[in-house]
Structure 1
Amino acid sequence: MQKFIGTGVALITPFKEDLSVDFDALIKLVNFNIENGTDYLVINGTTGESATITKEEKQQIIDVIIKTNNKRLPLVLGVGGNNTLEVVKEFKTRDFTGIDGILSVAPYYSKPTQEGFYQHYKALAEATDLPIILYNVPGRTAKNMEPATTLRLAKDFSNIVGVKEAGNNQQQYNTLLKDKPADFLIISGDDDLALGVALAGGSGVISVIGQAFPAAFSKMINLGLEGKNKEGYEIHFKMMDIVDYIFEENNPAGIKTVLQELGICKNDVRLPLVKASESLQAKIAKFVAEF
């Protein structure tokens, strides 16, 4: 799955001040990333505020991104949930024209056993021929999908092609990298650990900060994939503070503030999220001005 190697970005959903979707800003963001080194785009993930986007808005967002992208980069669509039957239904009935793969979050809230995780993803894999990237994010789902479960799925289903691992757990990454099938993708979902994962044999990242600094971040990841430790860490160290800032309060309030400073969109978010605090906005503005 060469199309999912390198830097993917989890696109935000820009809003106008009235909190309607700002499609002009979305088009600007997509083009900015395509023109500055991003390798693929991820639509309707957590960073896109998928929990507070209506079904109609989601489809409009997908349509606009597909049209704007115009087949220039691979597109991954976030489709997941904790109602397995409903997710299977969406896999079977949704029109995936223009979409290259699916990112599907581990079932949240329900806290399934490891066998429950396995059976959930087994049902999804059997419902589509599209490549599926698993998404393990225990900080949001309240339950960790253990490496043994991920690797069992990797070995049993040819269309489960990778995992976005976002447990911020270096040992878990190492276990996955050590034991994975040769062609299975270990994709970092942690911006702060992404370079180290690439250097250790990972396949890249699905990043939040990458959409604001696509040239620098994708260069860093490519250096990691090439095993160029020293050069990669020179960029990593320059970006450490901003990665901390964007996750200091909530995601995507932080990254939207960065993008506002870059003139791409407003920093509005939908409740229950709120804008970054004034003190955080000031720190982000200072970083962007000096970067």
Structure 2
Amino acid sequence: MSNRYEAIKKRLRGSIAPVITPFKANGDIDFEKQSELIEFQIENGTHAISVTGTSGEPSSLTTEERVQVMENAIKTINGRIPFAPGTGSTNHDETMYLTKKAEEMGADAAMVIVPYYNKPNQEALYDHFKTVADSVEIPIIIYNIPGRTAQNMEVGTMARLVKDCPNIVGAKESNKDFEHVNRVLLNCGRDFLLYSGIELLCYPMLAIGGAGSISATANVEPKKIAEMHNAWEEGNIKRAQDLHFELMNLNDVLFKDTNPAPVKAALGMMGMIEPVLRKPMGLPSEALQEEIRETLVEYGKLEKTASV
């Protein structure tokens, strides 16, 4: 592997925050708020930024809007921490276009999701990812999220891609099958960058040699998630374990409805954004919003008298 990829692999570790896409009340993208959210992440110790992944509602954005969100993000970050936007979609040509755009604008890596809805078989998945990876030099992070895509990239397929594509450097595994993610590292190499996309597996992933996490909860509580990774790297296992359990209630409530609806509701309560999602997505039920509000009070994010 080239020195170029070795260098970025050393930097792309820890908490990569998948920043939401903020909208104005009329549904337009609020780029000023997006910049504020990124600053919030950097100020709280987040190690890297991603946009237009699941938390960024990419399927509700036009292709040009996705480019604009990436451009605003990289301009805001200004090289302070790594940037790895989501560039995948269910459309192969769009994925190629967005991944090339990420490379052109200077992103440190691109995160490419397993295509959703159309359920390609394993050989088709291999061909899709190899074609994308071969078209660019930018490092690629495979995003495997079978709960959203209705298709799981098998370990053998991922291992073939890693062997045949030097710029495929890691994977975000939003996979509750912990045996599967263990076998990813076994077969793709212990230096493969494996990130947890399942909140309750962020700490366990570190224990098997994972590189970090890409957790939607980082939108609400970036400091503690970054601190958990820092504690692990410093060998303070007790502190990392404590933070894992401290975050559990918040992780649970933010996934009682489809991401990013609860996260956006929480950020709205915190006064950080207009809590707007584009149709067909919508805010959680009033009952769940009340539970989110109570949890934010518990975590010191809201006063007891606060309301949406």
Matched, 1:149 2:164: no
- Between stretches 189-198 and 81-90, larger displacement belongs to 81-90
* Unmatched 5+ stretches in structure 2: 1-8, 300-308
The correspondence of residues 241-252 of structure 1 with structure 2, limited to 5 A, is: 241-252=249-260
> What TM-score do the two structures reach when normalised by structure 1?
0.94
Deviation at 1:74, TM superposition (A): 0.9
Matched, 1:22 2:30: yes
Deviation at 1:273, TM superposition (A): 0.8
Residue deviations 1:247-279, cap 9 Å, x none? 111111111122123221122111111112111
User: What does residue 273 of structure 1 align with?
Assistant: 281
CA RMSD of aligned residues (A): 1.7
- Between stretches 235-244 and 126-135, larger displacement belongs to 235-244
Alignment equivalent of 2:207, drawn from 199, 214, 227: 199
> Residues 19 and 216 of structure 2 are in contact (CA less than 8 Å); yes or no, is this contact kept in structure 1?
yes
Q: Distance in 2 between matches of 1:70 and 1:87?
A: 24
Residues 113, 11 of structure 1: CA spacing in aligned structure 2 closer, same or farther, 3 A cutoff? Answer: same
The correspondence of residues 1-291 of structure 1 with structure 2, limited to 5 A, is: 1-92=9-100, 96-226=104-234, 228-291=236-299
> What TM-score do the two structures reach when normalised by structure 2?
0.89
Equivalent residue letter for 2:83: L
Q: Distance in 2 between matches of 1:42 and 1:193?
A: 19
Deviation at 1:85, TM superposition (A): 4.0
Q: Distance in 1 between matches of 2:242 and 2:219?
A: 19
> Residues 204 and 225 of structure 1 are in contact (CA less than 8 Å); yes or no, is this contact kept in structure 2?
no
Residue deviations 1:169-203, cap 9 Å, x none? 11111111233323211111111111100122100
Q: Distance in 1 between matches of 2:121 and 2:78?
A: 41
Q: Distance in 1 between matches of 2:210 and 2:255?
A: 23
* Unmatched 5+ stretches in structure 1: none
Q: Distance in 2 between matches of 1:205 and 1:232?
A: 13
Residue deviations 1:139-185, cap 9 Å, x none? 11111111121122112211000001111211111111233323211
Residues 224, 107 of structure 1: CA spacing in aligned structure 2 closer, same or farther, 3 A cutoff? Answer: same
Residues 112, 15 of structure 1: CA spacing in aligned structure 2 closer, same or farther, 3 A cutoff? Answer: same
- Give the match's secondary structure for 1:7: strand
Equivalent residue letter for 2:279: L
Residue deviations 1:214-236, cap 9 Å, x none? 11111112333455433212111
Q: Distance in 1 between matches of 2:100 and 2:109?
A: 14
Deviation at 1:95, TM superposition (A): 6.0
- Give the match's secondary structure for 1:268: coil
Residue deviations 1:123-151, cap 9 Å, x none? 11110000000010111111111112112
